[in-house]
Amino acid sequence: MIIEVARLGQRLVRDDRVTTHAALVSRAFGARRIYMSEANADIRDTLRGVNRTWGGDFEVVLEQDLKGIIRRRKADLFGVAHLTMYGEALDAVLPRMARLENMLVVIGAGKVPREIYDMADYNVAVGSQPHSEIAALAVFLDRVQRGRQFGIAPPGAARRIIPSRRGKLVVDGEPSGRP
């Protein structure tokens, strides 16, 4: 499944770390790219550095017209899932999403315009309590992919972590297959 993420806006009261973390979670949990509006361009450079060190080709796209991205992805037969605490329960929506080949996941930084709710194919609640969009994104991506995104290390990594019961084991060089 091809997964992309669109992050709507950025609150000034939060720093760029929250936006960077949304991109890092998107990358680590199997998305191919994230579209961002109102974001610091340095975030794109940060994620390029992460790709060089840890592998993969995740992309940060700075785009002011995120509604246009949603419309284009729908035309490309992407299912659009908007994460909101006001949507349908995640467990109820997952079976209907199982047939999707491509998905755009929309997360908001602040108040999301009504039009986004109407444009989405699925308005999905990851819990019905206030929480971070980053937490919702991580849970959602993991549940949609059933953990498969963690099965194979991305190509081109300068480093990789070897799972260890105690301590840290980090090796340099191209990973081969499973972590």
Does the residue 179 lie in any domain? no
Tokens 């990594």 correspond to what residue?
157
- Is 22 domain-assigned? yes
Distance CA 163, CA 155 (A): 18
pLDDT at 9: 73
What's residue 44's pLDDT?
A: 93
Q: Into how many domains does the chain fold?
A: 1
Q: Which domain holds residue 60?
A: 2-172
Q: How far apart are CA 44 and CA 41, in angstroms?
A: 6
In whole angstroms, give the CA distance from residue 124 to residue 92: 9
Residue 147 lies in a domain: yes
- The tens-digit pLDDT sequence of the chain (179 residues) is 899 999 987 655 457 888 899 999 999 999 999 999 877 889 999 999 999 999 999 999 999 899 999 999 999 999 999 999 889 999 999 999 999 999 999 998 878 899 999 999 999 999 888 888 999 999 999 999 988 888 677 888 888 888 888 988 888 876 444 44
Tokens representing residue 160 in the block: 């990789």
Query: Do the domain assignments include residue 121?
Result: yes
Domain contains 141: yes
Q: Is residue 36 part of a domain?
A: yes
Residue 121 near residue 80, CB atoms below 8 Å: yes
3-state secondary structure the chain: CEEEEEEECCCCCCCHHHHHHHHHHHHHCCCCEEEECCCCCHHHHHHHHHHHHHCCCCEEEECCCHHHHHHHHHHCCCEEEEEEEEEEEHHHHHHHHCCCCEEEEEEECCCCCHHHHHHCCEEEECCCCCCCHHHHHHHHHHHHHCCHHHCCCCCCCCEEECCCCCCCCEEECCCCCCC
Nearest to 173 by CA among 164, 161, 165: 161
Please give the pLDDT value at position 14.
59
- CATH number for the domain that contains residue 55: 3.40.1280.10
Q: What is the dihedral of CA 29, 120, 95, 124, to 10 degrees?
A: 70
